[in-house]
Structure 1
Amino acid sequence: MTAPAHARTSADLIRAEEPVLAHNYHPLPVVVARAEGAWVEDVEGRRYLDMLAGYSALNFGHRHPALIQAAHDQLDRLTLTSRAFHNDRLAEFAERLAALTGLDMVLPMNTGAEAVESGIKVARKWAYDVKGVPDGQATIVVAADNFHGRTTTIVSFSTDETARAGFGPFTPGFRIVPYNDLAALEEAVDETTAAVLIEPIQGEAGVIIPDEGYLTGVRELTRRKGCLFIADEIQSGLGRTGRTLAIEHESVVPDVLLLGKALGGGIVPVSAVVARREVMGVLGPGEHGSTFGGNPLAAAVGTAVVGLLETGEFQRRADELGLVLSEGLEALRGHGVSGFRARGLWAGVDVDPALGTGREISERLMREGILVKDTHGSTIRLAPPLTVTADELRSALGTLEKVLGQAG
């Protein structure tokens, strides 16, 4: 007889996954059973400081009381209608999210990849209906080393061969240019271009922050060339960088904004495409949809998330604690850290390859009670919940210093 989950050890549960769970992830060997705030606990009761926050899906920490209450209250009333009917939670969610982002209309979806796919469809429809691009000829310009999801269409314009190999044939209609290169972007955009799709900060690539003025340049170029600017803020948005949106660091407003991860408060999958009315208005009934997109439970949680952001508290925390993070990493430069890039409570940390791969450093930190995740090579990412304290950050950085010292 199989032992109940609560009676099985971490090793038991990891072994149990092997024959029945698809091997599309390579998780660290920790089995989380409980969580609160910035801390998680494994099945044996060991506690870890979560310095990854679900790739920014847990910006408000694990089980934030206001978000849990919103979910509990809605579970007692209504969870799903499908969009075949109206529900009493969706209008407020859309109104407040549009106001928070400074745009006009909201298309609610579930996952980040769905938001990206939806944004692509909206941009192409706009190109045909408004811009006058001949049918079937619309192009979208993207950046090398991007990460926008893992659907077949999205990996068609990825430059990561691990994500692409074995999944063709690929969807046409995309042009790839180097990130942070306005001259290359200018050359790639022509009369067939529906949109430029950019991450304001490239997360999976290692938290790559473009030069100051790049996003402003993208905005100016797309206006001048008559195409849309789509900003993918699924990881970078909703408080992570010390602003509601990362593009706000350059006071840029895109035509289309893609949101996800933190929009669901770490409780349910919630994503959205938010856009100018004249762009989103190209969609008509039956042209796009989702059974669960905009469901009452998601709308209730999403509205509570917007409510937390409307106070500005979490943006201020990320901004102020980001200084603690950056100062701590600067102190480690040359002491195992060869470089880093940080904005708000988000950092890509390059470890001296002689001390180990990013995976090896992540495993050593795990054994010391700190959870992070590698990106590529010897780079790890740090993205703690915005509820983390300064003392917790300093403790995590002290542990990183210890681990790097031991590796040396």
Structure 2
Amino acid sequence: MNWKTGSTFILLFGFLSLVASHVVAEEKISLEKFLNLAREESPDLAIESANVDTSQYRASGIRIPLGMVGFMQMQNSGNTRNGIEVSQEIPFPTKIIQDKKTRNLEYETKKQMGAIQKVGVMTKARVAYVEFWGASKRLTILKEKQNWFYHHAELFRTTTLSDNEAQIHLLGVESEVDLLENDILDAEAALVETRNGMNNFAPSLKHQELIPIEPAMENPKVSEFKNPLVAWKEKELKAKQAQLSLTKQSYLPDFSVRLRAFEGTPMSQGEREFMVGITVPFLYFWQSQAKVKEAAAEKKKVDAELQKATIASDSMLSSFLKKSEALQKQMTMLKHQLLPRAAQRVEFMKNISPRTMQGLDAHKSVMSDYLDLKLKAVDLRIDYEKNFQEILQLTENE
């Protein structure tokens, strides 16, 4: 084998390897598989989980100021005496209990918010997948439509029609082909954008060529429910109430104890001193008063936010459910009435001679209308999923 043959073989082998690797890299992915990957890999979920863990650790145990142990040395008339000091500040007992209760309620509030954030991430991941599927589907339909117009233009050129009306028709078709080329460029960009958007939820998919599978459509199931946002605000209100109670206890005194002891010398006896102290916060009552007013204002704010969320909850859910019902009816009409009827028109069109202007107009419009309806079906499905996302965020707790 001479060097030219060897080089050709190497180039051919490299090309086939690249093609093979590209084919192998393509993978069909379902919505369920993507959501499972998102649960495992989403950075947003990891961050929220860490935030909840932080709050849990903060809620553990009781909080008492650190004690102090000191070493002392006294020199007097040439004599050296060593001693120790032990001191401890002790908050009023009810402060310790109320502080623990407050931190526990803050943890429950954070855990509820973590559940809300998890639902938000997963519903966004669902919409990201559906948008990727929709972009892929839309690109396929647009290319099919473009090919049809190419076919129609070639068919027109085989006819003997040459009057002005026929030329106007041909120019119109060629213009539509050019416009479709722009639409296809936009669709290709949208496909790349939606594909990259999926990487935010499942980074392991970054270097894979994915083929989306049309997801099954889910219907909203709502019976008795409590808006997760309302539940979160209720827990936050309890935490603020506990914080207010804790702040009110700033009027209560704290205690301190101290023990000091010096060893004896040949010339003097050892000494021991024990002291119990108590703070007097009522002397500076305006400081505690300001803290109580601040905590009361924060509680009042959360109370108002809870009322607002409760009022808005029912009306928002009702609106989204009504829109979901309307979109379902539109999709049902497209699937069972408009698209089958348009497909029948395409079949009937095959029996019409495209050698006349009337036949050419029918040949162009019938297929174009059918493909436009397929595009409409994709757009409706994406709108439905975005609306479904809002319903899930109002009704799902995890």
Q: TM-score, normalised by structure 2?
A: 0.19
Larger radius of gyration: 2
Structure having the larger proportion of residues in strand: 1
Give the number of the structure whose residues are more often helix, by fraction: 2
